[in-house]
Amino acid sequence: MATIRSWLTALRRRAVKLRGRTLAELRERAGQALSAALEALGLSALAREPSDATFRKLLDPAVVGRAGTRAALHEHFVARGRPAFFAGVRDGTSAALLRSDPWRDALEALRGAADLVRAGRFDLLGHPGLDFGSPIDWHLDPTTGRRAPDRHWSRIPYLDAASIGDHKVIWELNRHQHLVVLGRAYQATGDERYATAFAEQLTSWMEANPPKRGVNWASSLEVAFRAISWLWALELFRRSPALTPALLERMLTLLYLHGRHLERYLSTYFSPNTHLTGEALGLFYLGTLLPELRRSARWRARGWAILERELPRQVHEDGVYFEQASYYHRYTVDFYLHAVILARRNGLPVPPAMLDRLELAVDHLADLTRVDGTIPMIGDDDGGRLVALEERMPADVRAALGVASVVLERPDLSRVAGRVTQEVLWLLGPDGAGRVGAALTAAPPTHASRLYPVGGYAVMRDGWDSGSHHAVIDAGPLGAMHGGHAHSDALSFELAVAGCPVVVDPGTFTYTGSPTERDRFRHSAMHNTVSIDGQTASVPAGPFAWASRADARVEHWWTGQLVDSFLGSHDGFQRLPEPATHRRRVLFVRSAYWVIVDTVETRGVHEAAAHLHLTPGATVAAVGDLEARITVPCAGGDATVVLRALGNVDGLLWSDEWVSPVYGVRTLAPAARLVSRGAGRRDLVTVLIPLTAGPSPVVRELPCSGGRAVVVDRPGVYDVIVLRERGTAQVGAIQIDADVAVVRRGSAAGPIEAVALLGSAGRLEADGLSFEAGGSAEMHRTASGWSVIGDGHIVERSRQ
């Protein structure tokens, strides 16, 4: 009876989960469940390697001709001229270029990485030199010592860290991207020891991972990534004696089973995100590059159809990836760049609509890119990559931008990339690398700052050269579907000074390794935003789900010559017994400093804390109770930033907090909390000023009725920022009824040189002038009068 009750309970739970599903989804899920059950019972032919005779029937005689033996098939494969692989591999010219002086360092790094793999040690995610034993235990997580069980893939609880350890570590090894590292080293050096290691490790894997058994068949995305790695390895080792006829045939046999697994277990309803597009890319790779298999045309067509369908669904019309995670945005860009290159190389048409949406995604990636070539890690990052074509850190996106520059014929993207990468060389060959190199001095993108209204990101920058500042503010929804790769980071921001990251997102660290650490790294307090009473804005409910969601929204945006202005809010703290609202305003006074104003309005007494997480290696020197000097070591010299806390801040508190620069690794770095306790409206004001040579700036508040006023006094520049709260705000002789005003003079007593009125329609009166705006506007004094940007004009009061 207990067994029956348990079965009925499980059935009821499954019925609840499936409530509201479409007939197509129910049919797909039922079909997948039935296939998995048949495999587990040994009743599916796909649960074992086919015999030689059966394998011959899988081949298309129109392609392989009379290649009825292993030797004949091997001869055909080595000699074939079509299909076309990526340009950097097929003719060997990229490998030859790697041996030239300009690439000497890259070649040495490649040899070092390949030698490590040959020795059976692996740099995976953030873990250096992992040892999986000898022979390699393909089911082991060496970071915990736990091993996944040997059973049918559908019966392995891979999210249960207590059972198998961190599945991400196991899967990263089993993507076999290290085989591509060996292949690149073989191409560049001709050293057969790399080919021997490839053959030995691949054979070991085949013996230890029979079809459908073990954790390495449990994720269709991992199956797709492994298939792509094998296809690259086949091409890189195509002419090596280590790729024997027997090994080639077995690889083709298992690639066939990989393809069948993918088409049966697509994540159409399970994870229709980068899982589905990655699987589709795997099918497209297989279908395009293995025409010898009868099912190839079907795989190619299905993979391409999914890629074409999913791009406008997963990438918003403003170019932002719908899961609100910058690393998965980069994944998406890589997927589609590979697909487009492979299609074009093989004469397949690419719809203009696909290229247009891809270009939007690339534009967003370029805007996220700091001048050092890295992006902020917003939301989850798993530290992985599509193909290991160069030795780089996960946040480095210069390769993707360089490839996109050629694919989309956009020289400005090469300028943003800033260098020619090895990945460009392997994907596009010397010709593509030459085009990127020639465009490194091209004109940069014509815009600087930009708002992405659907995705909710605001990017503030004052240029594209090495001395430019950069900030990104996250003010979008939590994330698509269940928000599985989102963090509780509503209104968080990142900031880089002259290309040097200073204020950073602390990263991800783990998915399932520790529920406590997973939730810690997703908490609002672990982002550069506000927590209230220690509460997070969005409440997690498992490693990839949420019990409550805070969705941010943009209320105002302006970008001008003097200032960029952002205003946003979110609803995450409305759930508190005494609800609270967080609103954040960010002003970037171009090339000079940032003012961040966090306004918390509550019905009861709360403690609000604005958090700032600094990059590892930063040092902090306190200057009084509410000021500090931050120094960050950078390649081009130290960056120094003054932090000044104003408004209703009761204390500026420093501690060391965790930052995870790459998945699986964490290190301590300085973090600040600007704390304010009280009821009603509380303003936490943070001023961040990069220092240059000369006297330090003076930052203070001025008496202001109806609002708040901050003065930033620098050599030759005297700025007053007025933040109106009610009615007409007045500071000294300045009166405003717009939301915000920035008034610039050359000195405290000098004439007004520029004014920015931001937010609602209003005006500012000072120095006998009335600056009026129908919305946001800037007015700049010129030799011949005033120039106006936006909906504004100036009236001399004496003439009214």
Question: Two tokens at 37?
Answer: 């059950």
**The CA-based dihedral angle spanning residues 533, 538, 541, 545, taken in that order and rounded to the nearest 10 degrees:** -160
For residue 800, the model assigns a pLDDT of 42
Torsions phi, psi of 656, nearest 5?
-100, 130
CA dist., res. 665 & res. 619, Å (int): 20
**The CA-based dihedral angle spanning residues 24, 29, 34, 37, taken in that order and rounded to the nearest 10 degrees:** 170
Which residue among 692, 720, 739 closes a domain? 692
Residue 694 burial (CB < 10 Å; 0-12/13-18/19+)?
A: exposed
Residues 596 and 626 in one domain: yes
User: Is there a domain that residue 308 lies in?
Assistant: no
Provide the percentage of residues in the chain whose pLDDT is more than 70: 97
Residue 9 burial (CB < 10 Å; 0-12/13-18/19+)?
A: exposed
For residue 11, the model assigns a pLDDT of 47
476 CA to centre of own chain: 15
Residues 687 and 706 in one domain: no
Residues 617 and 757 in one domain: no
CA dist., res. 585 & res. 570, Å (int): 12
116-120: long-range contacts, CB 8 A cutoff, minimum separation 24: 117/178, 117/181, 117/182, 117/197, 117/201, 118/182, 118/193, 118/194, 118/197
User: Is there a domain that residue 187 lies in?
Assistant: no
For residue 16, the model assigns a pLDDT of 53
For residue 3, the model assigns a pLDDT of 47
Which residue among 649, 674, 692 closes a domain? 692
Residues 582 and 681 in one domain: yes
User: Is there a domain that residue 506 lies in?
Assistant: yes
Low-confidence ranges of the chain (pLDDT < 70): 1-20, 693, 797-800
CB atoms within 10 A of CB 5: 9
For residue 7, the model assigns a pLDDT of 44
- The DSSP H or E segment spanning 224 is helix 220-236
* Residue from 371, 360, 366, 524 nearest 453 by CA: 360
Residue 751 belongs to domain spanning = 693-800
For residue 215, the model assigns a pLDDT of 98
CA dist., res. 779 & res. 772, Å (int): 9
Residues 640 and 685 in one domain: yes
Q: Do residues 342 and 284 make contact, with C-beta atoms less than 8 angstroms apart? A: yes
Residues 478 and 622 in one domain: yes
Residues 611 and 719 in one domain: no
* Residue from 225, 220, 296 nearest 63 by CA: 296
User: Is there a domain that residue 503 lies in?
Assistant: yes
Residues 608 and 723 in one domain: no
135 upstream amide cis, omega within 30 of 0: yes
For residue 383, the model assigns a pLDDT of 87
User: Is there a domain that residue 626 lies in?
Assistant: yes
Residues 726 and 671 in one domain: no
Residue 688 burial (CB < 10 Å; 0-12/13-18/19+)?
A: buried
CA-to-CA dists, residue 147 to 144, 163, 591, 663, angstroms: 9, 8, 53, 20
Residue 245 is which amino acid?
Answer: P
Residues 738 and 608 in one domain: no
For residue 230, the model assigns a pLDDT of 99
Residue 277 burial (CB < 10 Å; 0-12/13-18/19+)?
A: buried
User: Is there a domain that residue 360 lies in?
Assistant: no
Residues 539 and 562 in one domain: yes
Question: Two tokens at 173?
Answer: 């090894």
For residue 571, the model assigns a pLDDT of 93
User: Is there a domain that residue 549 lies in?
Assistant: yes
Q: Please give the tally of structural domains in the chain.
A: 3
CA angle 304, 32, 544 (to 5 degrees): 80
For residue 4, the model assigns a pLDDT of 52
User: Is there a domain that residue 420 lies in?
Assistant: no
Residues 657 and 717 in one domain: no
Provide the percentage of residues in the chain whose pLDDT is more than 90: 88
The count of residues in the chain is 800
Which residue among 663, 692, 721 closes a domain? 692
